[in-house]
Chain A
Amino acid sequence: MGQKILLIIGLFALAHAGYSAAQHRVYVRLTEQQFEHLPTDIIVQTLIAFLACCIGTVQLFGKFKPILITAEWQNKTWDTIGNRPSFMTFNHRGRKLFH
């Protein structure tokens, strides 16, 4: 959950910036001014929200696995790999010897 908070905040900030940009556009159209640029704070909010969302998605999706196949074999001993319990037989002469 802590990983997703950055992403959720970034998405909300992006949506808020988009809505305020649309409102600014309507305002400029109503007062019949010439539209040149969006106000600076909307642009800054958009860029910071983009940065936060990027970091959030890389944290969320950027989980990689090691590709060398020996990386997962390093910690295994021969006893773990070579254990084949279905090949163990118990029907041998130990039954007569040790009873």
Chain B
Amino acid sequence: MSTNNEMQIRRTASNSRSTISSKSSSSSSSSSLPKENKIRNTEPILYSEVAVRFNENSLEQCRTSVSVLSGCVAGIIGLTSYKGFIFYAFSMFFLSFLIYFYIRNEHRKFFTSLNHIFINGFFNGLLTYVLFWTFLYGMVHVY
């Protein structure tokens, strides 16, 4: 039974290579299972859960380390109050654009939508940023 599923998924993928829409036309040749092929018209896309989790994890690592770095920069420069938060927003947008330029041509291959890189984890690094910001500010400007 599992081999039948593998064959069916591979046949659909080789017929419709780069479709995101869920309606994939499966015009397979010499189908020995005609009943399954009629149901096949609204087949959902299969994602590998390990890969999705791995991508989100590495994105989160990038975000945390960039928020640490921007906290250090804000502390050294000596930003205060609202300018610090504006700098945090700027550094998060900067990171999003960097990642987007790195996976420019194949972002659909790695993420289901662009929301993941731009919007979803935006405030995750805020507290880390404030921690390093106050720490470096105290180190450089106060002591």
Contact = CB atoms under 8 A, between A and B. Distances in A.
Interface of A: 14, 17-18, 21-22, 25, 38, 42-43, 46-47, 49-50, 53-55, 57-59, 61-74, 78, 81-82
Interface string B54-98: 110011011001100110110111100000000000010011001
Q: Is the interface of A mostly helix, strand, loop or mixed?
A: helix
A66 B66 contact: no
B131 interface: no
A64 B58 contact: yes
Contacts of A61: 58, 61-62, 65
A70 B15 CA distance: 12
B114 interface: no
B69 A69 contact: no
Q: Is the interface of B mostly helix, strand, loop or mixed?
A: helix
A47 B45 CA distance: 43
Interface of B: 3, 6-7, 9-10, 13-14, 45-48, 50-52, 54-55, 58-59, 61-62, 65-66, 69-70, 72-73, 75-78, 91, 94-95, 98-99, 102-103, 109-112, 136, 139-141, 143
A68 B45 contact: yes
Contact of B58 (A21, A63, A74): A63
Given A25-B141, A46-B73, A67 B109 contact: yes
Contact of B65 (A42, A57, A67, A70): A57
B10 A66 contact: no
A42 B78 CA distance: 11
A18 B103 contact: no
Contact of A22 (B95, B99, B102, B140): B140
12 contacts: A18-B75, A18-B136, A46-B73, A57-B65, A59-B102, A64-B54, A64-B55, A67-B112, A69-B46, A70-B13, A72-B48, A73-B13
Given A18-B76, A22-B139, A64-B54, A58 B110 contact: no
Contacts of A55: 98
